[in-house]
Amino acid sequence: MATRLSTLLTTIPELGFVPSGSVRIPELQNVRMTRRIQHIVDHPAFQRLRRVRQLGPTHLVYPGATHTRFEHSLGVYACTQRYVLNLLQTPAFEESVKEEDILTVLLAGLLHDLGHYPFAHNLEALHLKGRDTPRHEDVGGRIIRGDIAALQGDQPVGELIRTHFGVDPERVNALCTGLGIETSMDKILRSIISSAIDADKMDYLERDSIHLGVPYGRNYDRERLLSSLTLNEAEDRIAILSKGKVSAEIFIFGRYTMFSEAYWHHTVRSASAMMEAALAAFYSRNEIHGDELLNVLISHSDDELLSWLSRESPESSATRYLIDPLYRNQRRLHKRVATYSRVYTEPDKRSAYEKIYQMDADQIYNLTDRLRVKLSSLLGRPLHPADLIIDTPPRDKDRLETVDVMYPNASGRRQYPLHELSRIVAGVQDDFMMVVKKIRLFAEPRVAADLAKLDGVEEFLLSEILRK
């Protein structure tokens, strides 16, 4: 008699046990593609992701970082397949999961970044600072529903989902956004897409490492981690068996090192800060917002958006001043003038960090303008309004990343959060806040060079920042 597991494996071709085609992505990976998945991938809304870089301006520092959200989305879909297949070895999951649940989470893995647009994370940093910027998760939901006419194609993505897979597109969207998650099964499925060791992170850590040419995100035992997947005691979230503890530690530490050495590398942060400042200046000068802004974002590639911003801005504007050095066969990035961190032993430097970290966008702008005026006097020449940028780290990366570890105890406690078992994981969050989340003052290269020739600039900046 066929088991329920064998039935699921034969009735859901996306799990790979029914012959299908495949597409090759780096590194040496074949992503199995059924005809109905291909219908989704071929939709104009998904094909658009070929024109959106995964890491925005990072290619200006790491030349290989030109891979796209399209490639990453296929990779996350393949990782989600692996997560499901391994969880089906867990009796509690196998007995409760339905075909509809599996199809829903596979589609969520494929479509989790459907709403991404060029420099989305830079723009969303402005959203956190009070700007009217669309969140890519919300844009993805609108695309699935067919609310954006330019990306409907012959029929909305949601209709393809309903027609070819027989699942509710709103449930797919809920797994992507995390909103409206109520049932235990949906909490499990959501944790496959978003958690400390989710399919999204598993793909982007390895994929970004490959394209950036760094080792940090691919030095954990992937197969060991996948084979250790299970459910927590409440059976509402993925967890790991004790055999996967070290693999999970290295996975979480790898993410930390990717932020420290790649994503928030000081030169990458310079390029990102220039983008954010250019976009903020554009917003302050233009009335474009809402759907008008969104239509611009979804209709342009990264370089096309830079070109559009440049064309739509006056020659003397801060936007042009900051955008033009990022493209048109140029690479002229602002240089570090000062760095502040919670880890510094000097009380003034720690106080400067805490003061700036608590500032809102207007206060940071006022401080930057005051420093510009003062430094103009020191240098004996006026500085352009965009010559100085204070780069503050994103505020949405402060929560502890952990996962439950399950032990086969017959009685007593058998579930422990990984950070209680591992000083590595417990220390990662402290180090992330203390060391990685730096505040930097960047200056236009010629200005930075002139400031480097002056004595006492560091002390002068500190006194101005701490001035009441």
Is 1 a residue whose pLDDT tops 50?
no
Give tens-digit pLDDT for 303-346.
Answer: 999 999 999 999 999 999 999 999 888 899 999 999 999 888 89
* Interval 291-309 mean pLDDT: 93
Model confidence, pTM: 0.94
Q: Tens digits of per-residue pLDDT, 230-244?
A: 999 999 999 999 999
- Judged by DSSP in three states, 243 sits in helix
Domain tally, the chain: 2
pLDDT in tens, 100-120: 999 999 999 999 999 999 998
Alpha helices (H) along 228-338: 245-258, 266-285, 290-298, 302-311, 318-323
- Is 113 in the same domain as 220? yes
Tens of pLDDT, residues 62-97: 999 999 999 999 999 999 999 999 999 999 999 999
Q: At what angle do helices 290-298 and 302-311 cross, to 10 degrees?
A: 130
Classify residue 231 as exposed, middle or buried by CB count within 10 Å of its CB (0-12, 13-18, 19+): buried
Q: State residue 129's pLDDT score.
A: 53
With respect to residue 211, please indicate whether it lies within any of the assigned structural domains. Answer: yes
123 or 19: whose pLDDT is higher?
123
Do residues 66 and 154 share a domain? yes
Element (H, E) at 417: strand 415-417
Contact in structure between 11 and 5 (CB atoms under 8 Å): no
How high is the pLDDT of residue 431?
86
Residues 101 and 232 in one domain: yes
The span from the CA of 43 to the CA of 36, in Å, is 11
Query: Would you say residue 295 lies in a domain?
Result: no
Residues 69 and 165 in one domain: yes
pLDDT in tens, 169-226: 999 999 999 999 999 999 999 999 999 999 999 999 999 999 999 999 999 999 999 9
Say whether pLDDT at 396 is over 80.
no
Q: Tell me the CB-side half-sphere exposure of residue 6, using CA atoms within 13 A.
A: 3
DSSP 108-149: HHHHTTTT--TTHHHHHHHHHTT-----HHHHHHHHHHT--G
Alpha-carbon distance of 296 to 157, in angstroms, equals 20
Task: Specify whether 143 is located in the same domain as 251.
Answer: yes
Q: Confirm if 176 and 137 have CB atoms less than 8 A apart.
A: yes
- Are 257 and 339 in the same domain? no
Residue span of the structural domain in which 393 resides: 334-397+437-468
Of 263, 282, 297, the domain-final residue: 263
Is 70 exceeded by the pLDDT of residue 397? Answer: no
Q: 229: helix, coil or strand?
A: strand
Q: What is the CATH number of the domain that holds 59?
A: 1.10.3210.10
User: What tokens appear for 123 in the block?
Assistant: 């723009």
Whether the per-residue pLDDT at 2 is higher than 70: the answer is: no
Percent of the chain with pLDDT over 70: 96
**Residue 440 main-chain phi, psi, to 5 deg:** -130, 145
At which of 263, 294, 312 does a domain end?
Answer: 263
Same domain for 252 and 354, yes or no, is: no
And the tokens for 55?
Answer: 């890491």
Chain-wide mean pLDDT for the chain? 92
Q: Which residues contact 299 (CB under 8 A, 6 or more apart)?
A: 150
- % of residues, the chain, pLDDT over 90: 78
Average pLDDT score over residue span 453-465: 94
What is the reported pLDDT for 291? 84
Higher-confidence residue of 434 and 46: namely: 46
Pair (243, 379) in one structural domain:
no
Q: How far is CA 372 from CA 280, 336, 338, in A?
A: 17, 15, 14
Reported confidence tier of residue 132, pLDDT bands at 50, 70, 90:
low
Residue 252 makes CB contacts below 8 A (sequence gap 6+) with 196, 197, 401, 402, 418, 424, 425, 428
CB-CB contact of 188 with 238 (8 Å) = yes
How far out from the chain centre does Cα 45 lie?
A: 20
85, part of any domain: yes
What's the first-to-final CA gap in the chain, in angstroms? 78
Highest mean pLDDT among 146-160, 187-201, 453-467: 187-201
For 380, left (φ over 0), alpha (ψ -120 to 50), or beta?
left
Is residue 138 situated within a structural domain?
A: yes
Tally the residues of the chain.
468
Residue 324 lies in a domain: no
Place of tokens 């299970």: 230
pLDDT of 142 reads 95
Q: Which burial class, exposed, middle or buried, applies to 388 when counting CB atoms under 10 A from its CB (0-12, 13-18, 19+)?
A: buried
287 pLDDT band, cuts 50/70/90, is confident
Both tokens assigned to 9: 């494996």
> Buried (b) or exposed (e) across 448-465, using 16+ Cβ within 10 A?
bebbeeeeebeebbbeeb
Asked whether residue 452 is domain-assigned, the answer is yes
User: Does some domain include residue 429?
Assistant: no
Q: CA gyration radius for the chain?
A: 24
Mean pLDDT score, 257-269: 94
What pLDDT is recorded for position 203?
98
End-of-domain residue from the set 263, 295, 322: 263
Q: Which residues contact 407 (CB under 8 A, 6 or more apart)?
A: 242, 414, 415, 416
Residues 235 and 345 placed together within one structural domain of the fold: no
Residue 235 lies in a domain: yes
pLDDT above 60 for 130: no
